[in-house]
Amino acid sequence: MNTQDPEKITQITDTASIEESPTIPASITTVDIEHSDKKATPSHEDIIKKGKTMLIVIGVVLLLFFLLILLAFKNKAKPSNAVTTITYWGLWEDKDVMQPLIDEFEQSHPNIKVNYIKQDFGFTSENYAYVGNYYASVLERLTKTGGIDIMRVHVSWIPNIINFISPADNNIFPASEVEKNYYEPVVKASVFNNYVYNIPLYMDSLVMFYNPGLFKKANIENPPTNWEQVITDAPKLTIKENGRIVQAGVAIGTGTNIFHSPQTLLMMFTQANVPVIDYSNKKFVFATEEGLAGLKYYTDFATKSKVWSYTLPSDLKMFVECRLAMLFAPSWRAVNFKASNPQLDFKIAPPPVLPGARNDVNQYIASYYTEIVPQNAPHKKEAWIFLHWLSQPEQLEKFYQLQVQAHKIALPSPRKDVKQDVTTSPASPIVHEMAPKTTTWMLYDQGVWEKQVREFLTTLENQENEPTLEQLRQLEQSLNQTIFKTQ
- Per-residue pLDDT tens for 193-230? 999 999 999 999 999 999 999 999 999 999 999 999 99
Whether 4 is covered by a domain: the verdict is no
Do 407 and 333 meet the contact criterion of CB atoms below 8 Å apart?
no
Weakest mean pLDDT among 128-142, 152-166, 306-320, 378-392: 128-142
3 state SS of 278: strand
What predicted TM-score, i.e. pTM, was given to this entire model? 0.78
Same-domain pairing of 372 and 346: no
Is residue 471 predicted with pLDDT exceeding 60? Answer: yes
Tens digit of pLDDT for each residue in 349-360?
A: 999 998 777 777
For residue 254, is pLDDT > 90?
Answer: yes
Task: Classify residue 28: in a domain, yes or no.
Answer: no
Q: Rounded to the nearest 10 degrees, how much is the dihedral formed by the CA atoms of 380, 386, 388, 389?
A: 160
Residue 145 pLDDT exceeds 60: yes
**What sections of 244-378 are H helices per DSSP?**
261-271, 289-303, 315-320, 333-340
276 and 141 belong to one structural domain = no
Amino acid in position 221: E
User: Which band of pLDDT confidence, cut at 50, 70 and 90, is reported for residue 316?
Assistant: very high
Q: Is the pLDDT of residue 84 over 70?
A: yes
The bridge status of strand 438-439 relative to strand 364-365 is parallel
Stretch among 7-21, 345-359, 435-449 having the lowest mean pLDDT: 7-21
The distance in angstroms from the start CA to the end CA of the chain is 109
Band (70; pLDDT cuts 50, 70, 90): low
Tell whether 401 and 259 lie within a shared domain: no
Does the residue 43 lie in any domain? no
User: In terms of domains, do 314 and 458 share one?
Assistant: yes
- Angle, CA 337 vertex, CA 100 and CA 423 arms, to 5°: 60
Q: Residue 167: what pLDDT? A: 98
> What distance lies between CA 304 and its chain's CA centroid?
42
Q: In terms of domains, do 293 and 238 share one? A: yes
Mean pLDDT of 266-292: 91
Q: Is residue 25 part of a domain?
A: no
| Residue 17 pLDDT greater than 60, yes or no | no
- Decide if pLDDT at 13 tops 70: no
**pLDDT per position as a tens digit, 180-201:** 999 999 999 999 999 999 999 9
Average the pLDDT over 39-46 and give the result: 55
22: confidence class by pLDDT, cuts 50, 70, 90: very low
- Judged against a pLDDT cut of 50, whether residue 27 lies above it is answered with no
Residues facing 415 on adjacent strands = 182
CB-based contacts of 390, cutoff 8 Å, min separation 6: 101, 105, 201, 396, 399
Q: Into how many domains does the chain fold? A: 2
Of residues 90 and 78, the one with the higher pLDDT is 90
Domain with 413 in it: 84-203+368-432
In this prediction, residue 203 carries a pLDDT of 95
More confident residue, 45 or 416: 416
User: Based on the domain organization, do 268 and 328 belong to the same domain?
Assistant: yes
45 burial level (CB within 10 Å; 0-12, 13-18, 19+): exposed
Instruction: Pinpoint the alpha helices (H) of 165-282.
Output: 175-181, 184-190, 212-217, 227-236, 261-271
Residues 290 and 357 in one domain: yes
Assess if residue 151 is contained within a domain: yes
Residue 354, classified by CB atoms within 10 Å of its CB into exposed (0-12), middle (13-18) or buried (19+), is middle
Q: Which residue has the higher pLDDT, 13 or 72?
A: 72
pLDDT tops 90 at residue 468: yes
